[in-house]
Structure 1
Amino acid sequence: MAAIKKRGSTYKISVSCGYDINGKQIRHHMTWIPTPGMTARQIGKELNRQAILFEEQCRNGQVLDGNIKFIDFAEKWFAEYAEENLRPSTVQGYQKLMPRINEELGSRRIGKIKPADLTAFYKKLKSDGAKKNLIMYLRDNWSELLKERNLTQSEISRQSGVSTVQISKAAHGSGLMKKNAEKIAEVLELPVDEVFVIPESGKLSGNTVQHYHRAISSILATAVEWQVIFSNPCDRVETPKAEHKEARVLDEEQVMELIEAANNLPIKRRTFILLALNTGCRRGELCGFEWRDINWKHSTISVARTSVAIKSKGVITDDTKTAKSRRTIKLSEDMLALLKEYREDQDKQRLALGDQWIDSGRIFTTEFGGRLHPDTASKWYHAFVKKNNLADSCLHSMRHTHASLLAYAGINASALASHLGHSTMQTTMNTYIHAIRSVEDESADIMQTLLHKTDDQKSAS
């Protein structure tokens, strides 16, 4: 039964919920404040109702308190809130951050976490050496190193303990964790920096620190909603600043070189890369396209879903990044013709495989018709750029290049934001500010020519 104690003009309601594993009594408390103007009889009646309700909530596990450890509350948050309310990719991203967060805050009582604790944590994340799992990349002379020592990648794998798959991927441009890079360098009897390109700093970027801040804030915001704590300490911490990085963009000459090289690719990869360049869509949106999204009559394609790779579930279908990401994009005649050609090729493959074909409905599929893993598309692009010695870029560069070309052509920021599916025009302005400023400078020159005569023109008149 709930115990009630009057404290000035408020009432403290306490409920005992048994004992913890250490034999300590578990008690939950709440404070009830009567509404001004209530009579003594009304207060008594409402107080009794509040006590019964609170006791029921405690018995049903609906009430926690600030003494719960952060690690325990976070586990409950993922199971009861995040899985139901957040995008799978967001949940997976937050889960990847939890080991480091729990290392710092996991043992703390959630009600005892202060803004100063968070500030100290963010400072530690931004310090040199905070990036524990540095990713390193093989240097261009990898093949020569093997030939000089008469070694194969299989032999390197056997001696180092690093899988042949990881080594093969690294040879094609993927990164290796520091510990694996060190094992390979040891086999070659060379310093690590002679085999691998080592990142300049072990500091986490401001963008990454922001991800940590958002994860912690989301958890603690729910704790406030569930009345576990009174306020979110993240609200009283200065948000870590993200460094602005210039988008990697190809110029017109580099775009033409890319298109020329893409024309020699197998049709599926050619279609994927050129559709990325022609539409400016995100990787997940490209992998999420289905044939039904194309309106052949009106030459459009609609962004209605994304493909997301979740470690525990494989490639799944998810909603678009934001509501404004759902959009319809006009296709050029050449792009539409290429899609038709590719569809005929896919139909032949489907008929050849018969019952083995997986009817996912996707435009871009695996060999047997299943959903294409987004990372596979990135590897296609990386291998394509490296093989053809093209300007250094990644798959997402197609989106930046597409947007910049439109901006340089004079498309205004509002129309560009809508076309790209940005949630706000500010995102567009921040990302493509140089291209937009260039257009504004040109427009100023045009207005100068149209509205203001030069000195020579004035003299002539």
Structure 2
Amino acid sequence: MAAIEKRGENSYRLTVSCGYDRNGKKIVKRKTIDLSHVKHDKQMEEANKQWILLKNEIEKGLFLDTDKVTFEDFIEKWLKDYAEHELAPKTLYRYKELLNTRIIPALGHLKLNKLQPTHLTEFYNNLREDGIRTDKKPGGLSERTILHHHRLISSILTCAVQWQFLLNNPASRVKPPKVEKKEAKHFNIEQTEYILELMENEPIKYRTMITLAIYGGMRMGELTALEWQDVDFDTGLLRINKSLQHLKGKGTFVKSTKNETSNRIISLPGSAITLLREYKFWQNCEKANLGDLWNDEYTNIFTTLDGKPMFPSTISKWFNKFIKRHNEAIMSDDTISKEDKKKYILDNVNFHGLRHTSATLLINQGVDVTTVSKRLGHARTSTTTDIYSHSLKKADTEAADKLENLFNKNIKNKKQG
């Protein structure tokens, strides 16, 4: 039995003899490796090196026989060796939810090296069937949710290839679920201006939060994690370098921002800085009134009644109630005609939509994508262009129209001259 066998153009099977079992049967350990990244004349040399490494792993008890590893086995290894160290808590929580709810029950029993594209295709089709939803609603999962399952599976299998458990990723040979691109929900400029006017009659804490969300385009966790030392009142700059999150079983905690580029410093307009000053004065009064009941341990800008950090989703829930309360008040107001009521009804956009509103308005005002991307804290400008493609197309059309008007005007002036 050869220690190294060529199995394909760039594939080699390594075999290590490990003596005999109690029944006298020879024990062998095998591992198949892909050397497509190595020049052909150097592949055998590399295969020999890999064989020696494999032999050492086996002797030290570190070798895991990939032929016996199930998909669930590898998922557990991926979680322990990678995900729990590298992923954000909220992302890890969501991934575990997808894995434990559907992926492992459906595919976990399969041998990792036997997992085929057809298994994944059948799994995705099953997710489309009626009765699969945990919330008991009719119909299957949305294509977007199925795509989330596909991306997670593909990411795990990519890791399996990198760790040499697999020669290739079967998910890469499956057509991903097609999701229709929709424009990110946001308010237009008239409704945004109207919301800012309505905020004048709302509690100053929520008024300040909504104003900062519109002008700063921050994520909910970034906004609620802000501390007073993050504001430079003299320069009008705001530092964003952390996020407040809450997870079941873990409670509320502060973490780093979504990615490295999410750590950013943005400029705020004078009106927002002025409002922050007013809010700080109000908060200091509340602090003085409470005395020893105020919790001095924290320096968060937005707090509960006793000075502790505000629950991350509080502002989101408040904003949803604000939209509903306002629209119901308009609809029940008999002094407003039916036609005029349409002007005052606000679109059903959630709090995160204020981030989209901020970005969309900037793009429509001609601000370049790189600047918008930096303000949002996106890792790549391609993320910005992907999310706001509708707004960019509109801005591009307006740019083309301006050029046309410019040249037509010049041509018309020359003819008249």
TM-score after normalising by structure 1: 0.73
Q: 2:356 aligns with which of 400, 410, 426?
A: 400
Distance 2:385 2:252 in 1: 32
Summarize deviations over 1:281-327 as a string: whole Å, max 9, x none: 11121122221111111101011111222222112222222222222
Distance 1:221 1:367 in 2: 48
SS of corresponding position for 2:97: helix
Distance 1:284 1:364 in 2: 11
User: 1:17, 1:28 within 8 Å by CA — same for their partners in 2?
Assistant: no
What is the match of residue 343 of structure 1? 280
User: 1:285, 1:306 within 8 Å by CA — same for their partners in 2?
Assistant: yes
Q: Does residue 203 of structure 2 align to residue 271 of structure 1?
A: no
Distance 1:126 1:278 in 2: 40
* Residues 8-407 of structure 1: pairs in structure 2 closer than 5 A: 11-15=14-18, 28-30=29-31, 49-50=52-53, 52-57=55-60, 59-60=61-62, 63-98=64-99, 99-134=101-136, 202-351=139-288, 352-354=290-292, 357=295, 359-389=297-327, 390-407=346-363
TM-aligned CA deviation for residue 217 of structure 1: 2.1
Distance 1:207 1:241 in 2: 8
Amino acid at match of 2:117: P
Q: 1:412 aligns with which of 362, 365, 368?
A: 368
Closer, same or farther: CA 345–452 of 1 in aligned 2, 3 Å: same
Closer, same or farther: CA 431–17 of 1 in aligned 2, 3 Å: farther
Distance 2:188 2:280 in 1: 30
- The number of residue pairs the alignment matches comes to 380
Amino acid at match of 2:356: H
Amino acid at match of 2:78: W
- Bigger drift between 405-414 and 26-35 goes to 26-35
Closer, same or farther: CA 368–72 of 1 in aligned 2, 3 Å: farther
Q: Does residue 361 of structure 2 align to residue 424 of structure 1?
A: no
Distance 1:18 1:105 in 2: 32
TM-aligned CA deviation for residue 106 of structure 1: 1.7
Amino acid at match of 1:88: P
Amino acid at match of 2:81: E
Distance 2:364 2:253 in 1: 36
Distance 1:409 1:8 in 2: 64
TM-aligned CA deviation for residue 113 of structure 1: 0.9
- Bigger drift between 311-320 and 27-36 goes to 27-36
Amino acid at match of 2:115: I
Closer, same or farther: CA 349–14 of 1 in aligned 2, 3 Å: farther
Closer, same or farther: CA 294–452 of 1 in aligned 2, 3 Å: same
Distance 1:369 1:82 in 2: 34
Distance 1:101 1:48 in 2: 34
SS of corresponding position for 2:299: coil
What is the match of residue 181 of structure 1? none
Closer, same or farther: CA 54–35 of 1 in aligned 2, 3 Å: farther
Distance 2:81 2:31 in 1: 22
User: 1:15, 1:29 within 8 Å by CA — same for their partners in 2?
Assistant: no
Distance 2:181 2:71 in 1: 32
What is the match of residue 189 of structure 1? none
Distance 1:366 1:268 in 2: 10
Distance 2:145 2:44 in 1: 52
Distance 1:370 1:84 in 2: 29
Closer, same or farther: CA 114–303 of 1 in aligned 2, 3 Å: same
TM-score after normalising by structure 2: 0.81
Amino acid at match of 2:317: K
Unaligned 5+ segments in structure 2 are: 7-12, 36-40, 328-345
What is the match of residue 183 of structure 1? none
Give percent identity, aligned residues only: 33
